Structure 1
Amino acid sequence: MCSPGIIFLAQTVVGALGNSSLLLHYLVLYFPGCRVRPTDLMIQHLIVGNLLTLLCKGVPQTMAAFIFKFSLGNIKCKLLFYVLRVGRGVSIVTMCLLSVFQVITISPKDSRWAGLKVKAPRYIGSSIHLSWILYMLINIIVLIYMTGKWSNTTITDLKDFGYCSAIRPDITIDSLFAALVAFPDVLCVGLMLWASSSMVLILHRHKKRMQHVHKASAPRSSPESKATKTILLLVSTFVSLYTLSCIFQVCVTLLSNPSRFLVNTAAIVAGCFPAVSPFLLMSRYSSASRLCFACIKFF
């Protein structure tokens, strides 16, 4: 059985290479002077959020697994968990925006979303920037309660995260903070599920119409069918891993002294989607896939 350190190391290295390769693909493709499509802009911010999540979670977890009594100072713990929470939140928002934008884009001309097809691309950039600001403000409380594991603080009620600790606030404050952090995440996941379901339904109806028009032709996999499979794969992977991660995070939060196994498992599950998502996205770009696998082979 692999040790947690090996799992953290493999997850971080492979995920970082995958996200970096995909980001490099976009930079080479659209630099300099080329116009970036709204979907590509959202994917770029998703990649940045994934990288922040992987590096801020995977690197210290790996070092804590291999180095005895590894710990970080107060300032480093505060910044590390703050950036981690912001990156994770931005990843969720960009996934939500991507799903909503896609369902608006492929909606029929006679639908109620038709009027938003022209307006939606104008607000993508501002929406992404607003999400960064929103999560930077929401997670300021992380800077207050995170501290070093072996700090000189006299507070004894600390929750151990392996290399950092967190001051356990009053149960009322803790509940309010959990609700504040969870509300935008739950809202985004709900919107994403609705948008993805609507998109799959639209593509299914379009496929049936096209089969009716060309029923004499030989059956073959249409672009709509391929897009449907890609959407279902990406969304189902995200929702399943996000739900599983939330379950583990709730367990870690509610327990006064969570076991090291529970903390490590929660960290591994939280890093699964950031590590896997670039390879799901790269299935559309053969050049990006070749670049990524070349980097992995080199290392």
Structure 2
Amino acid sequence: MSPRNLAIGMVFLSQTVAGIFGNFSLFYHYLFIYFTGYRLRNTDLVLQHLIVANSLVVFSKGVPQTMAALGWKQFPSDFECKLLFYLHRVGRGVCIGSTCLLSIFQAIIISPRNSRWAELKVKAPRCISLSIFLCWLLFMLVNIIIPVYVNRNWTNYTTEKQKDFGYYFAKVDDKIADSLFAALLSFPDALCLGLMLWASGSMVSILYRHKQRVQHIHRTSLSPRSSPESRATQTILLLVSTFVSFYTLSCILLVCLVLFDTASWFLVNMAALSTVCYPSVSPFILMSRDSRISRLSFVWVRNTKSRTIISNT
């Protein structure tokens, strides 16, 4: 194994382990919140599906890419390769859709009562489950043809061009046709991204106007604290900005892979790394910004210490 393959393999391994640990930790915290009787927020259902989508991307992209970089040649088979790539595409799409739903829902929740979105405040929570179901269904159907273009091994007996992407090969029939097909597949992503940016802009505008209105209260308050809605909005804005940054980088690298006839080793691995960045980082952002987690951890530590003191006496 060459030093560069070992180095990139260790980077993939670190990223994959961090993603698995982060998503399972966030899932455990939600179980802890549920069983301790805390009331779940309306956005928690979307976040739970985001955890599932993140885990799909980490396991279907990060794990095989790590194994390929470290020289593991026995995995996956052709069927497993097609399945992994399909799960990766579905998980990636649901990540986009879930983040989009979070931003839209939060923009509706914090909108003023006299705005045109005020009547949606009551209807929006009832539409969350249906929206998530449609999100999964949409990306499962859109990507159902993807496995046709993916092979585990290079097929020398065909006249079709193929590109090496680490642990799989992708067919390249015609650049124009492939570009149109890629544009068709990217349309749901672009739509979600546009809605996400619109909702984020609306949230920033609402927060700014609210800050201007209550500025005199902040001046007279000795210990000003933001409202729960404001903290939740800031968390979602941070999540959206992180997603847009990694998604933009990933798209640029993927476009380069499509345009270049021969994909370089560096470009292939950087594109794979950028794809798994958001599913690996987003759980830590959510855990660091969720005040319920810190309160529950404090209560758990305090109760543990109390039981220890009582047992010692």
Q: TM-score higher than 0.5 here?
A: yes
Asked whether the equivalents of residues 94 and 136 of structure 2 are also in contact (C-alpha less than 8 Å), the reply is yes
Is 2:216 the counterpart of 1:212?
A: yes
Structure 1 counterpart of 2:190, from 183, 186, 191: 186
Paired residue secondary structure (2:151):
strand
Matched residues in 2 for 1:232 and 1:94: separation? 14
Asked whether the equivalents of residues 108 and 118 of structure 2 are also in contact (C-alpha less than 8 Å), the reply is yes
Asked whether the equivalents of residues 42 and 98 of structure 1 are also in contact (C-alpha less than 8 Å), the reply is yes
Is 2:268 the counterpart of 1:284?
A: no
Structure 2 counterpart of 1:60, from 50, 60, 64: 64
Matched residues in 1 for 2:188 and 2:119: separation? 26
Is 2:248 the counterpart of 1:254?
A: no
Matched residues in 2 for 1:253 and 1:145: separation? 13
Aligned length: 291
Paired residue secondary structure (1:283):
helix
Is 2:78 the counterpart of 1:74?
A: yes
Is 2:108 the counterpart of 1:104?
A: yes
Is 2:172 the counterpart of 1:168?
A: yes
Gaps of 5+ in 1: 292-299
Paired residue secondary structure (2:145):
helix
Please, which moves more after superposition, 166-175 or 137-146? 166-175
Matched residues in 2 for 1:80 and 1:68: separation? 16
Query: What is residue 271 of structure 1 aligned with on the other side?
Result: 276
Structure 2 counterpart of 1:237, from 219, 237, 242: 242
What are the Cα deviations for residues 24-53 of structure 1, in whole angstroms up to 9, with x where unaligned? Answer: 211232259987532000001111111111
Asked whether the equivalents of residues 252 and 258 of structure 1 are also in contact (C-alpha less than 8 Å), the reply is yes
Whichever residue aligns with residue 108 of structure 2, its letter is I
Q: How far off its partner does 1:122 sit?
A: 1.1
Query: What is residue 4 of structure 1 aligned with on the other side?
Result: 8
Please, which moves more after superposition, 117-126 or 36-45? 36-45
What are the Cα deviations for residues 186-221 of structure 1, in whole angstroms up to 9, with x where unaligned? Answer: 111111111111112212222222223464333634
Query: What is residue 94 of structure 1 aligned with on the other side?
Result: 98
Asked whether the equivalents of residues 163 and 171 of structure 2 are also in contact (C-alpha less than 8 Å), the reply is yes
* Residues 1:228 and 1:125: Cα distance change in structure 2 (over 3 Å): closer
Query: What is residue 127 of structure 2 aligned with on the other side?
Result: 123
Whichever residue aligns with residue 232 of structure 1, its letter is L
Q: How far off its partner does 1:259 sit?
A: 1.0
Matched residues in 1 for 2:176 and 2:273: separation? 29
What are the Cα deviations for residues 70-112 of structure 1, in whole angstroms up to 9, with x where unaligned? Answer: 5532211110100000000000000000000001001111000
Asked whether the equivalents of residues 74 and 147 of structure 1 are also in contact (C-alpha less than 8 Å), the reply is yes
Matched residues in 2 for 1:153 and 1:141: separation? 23
Matched residues in 1 for 2:166 and 2:189: separation? 26
Aligned CA RMSD, in angstroms, stands at 2.5
Larger Rg: 2
Is 2:195 the counterpart of 1:195?
A: no
Q: How far off its partner does 1:61 sit?
A: 0.9
Whichever residue aligns with residue 44 of structure 2, its letter is D
Paired residue secondary structure (1:220):
coil
What are the Cα deviations for residues 101-152 of structure 1, in whole angstroms up to 9, with x where unaligned? Answer: 0010011110000000011111111111111111111111212111112457
Matched residues in 2 for 1:253 and 1:210: separation? 51
Please, which moves more after superposition, 8-17 or 221-230? 221-230
Whichever residue aligns with residue 181 of structure 2, its letter is F
TM-score of the aligned structures, taking structure 1 as reference length: 0.89
Matched residues in 1 for 2:219 and 2:92: separation? 46
Paired residue secondary structure (2:289):
coil
Asked whether the equivalents of residues 160 and 173 of structure 2 are also in contact (C-alpha less than 8 Å), the reply is no
Structure 2 counterpart of 1:222, from 207, 216, 226: 226
* Residues 1:258 and 1:200: Cα distance change in structure 2 (over 3 Å): same
Asked whether the equivalents of residues 71 and 164 of structure 1 are also in contact (C-alpha less than 8 Å), the reply is no
Structure 1 counterpart of 2:54, from 50, 54, 59: 50
Is 2:36 the counterpart of 1:21?
A: no
TM-score of the aligned structures, taking structure 2 as reference length: 0.85
Paired residue secondary structure (1:271):
helix
Structure 1 counterpart of 2:161, from 144, 157, 179: 157
Asked whether the equivalents of residues 74 and 151 of structure 1 are also in contact (C-alpha less than 8 Å), the reply is no
Q: How far off its partner does 1:157 sit?
A: 1.4
Identity %: 59
Query: What is residue 309 of structure 2 aligned with on the other side?
Result: none
* Residues 1:258 and 1:136: Cα distance change in structure 2 (over 3 Å): same
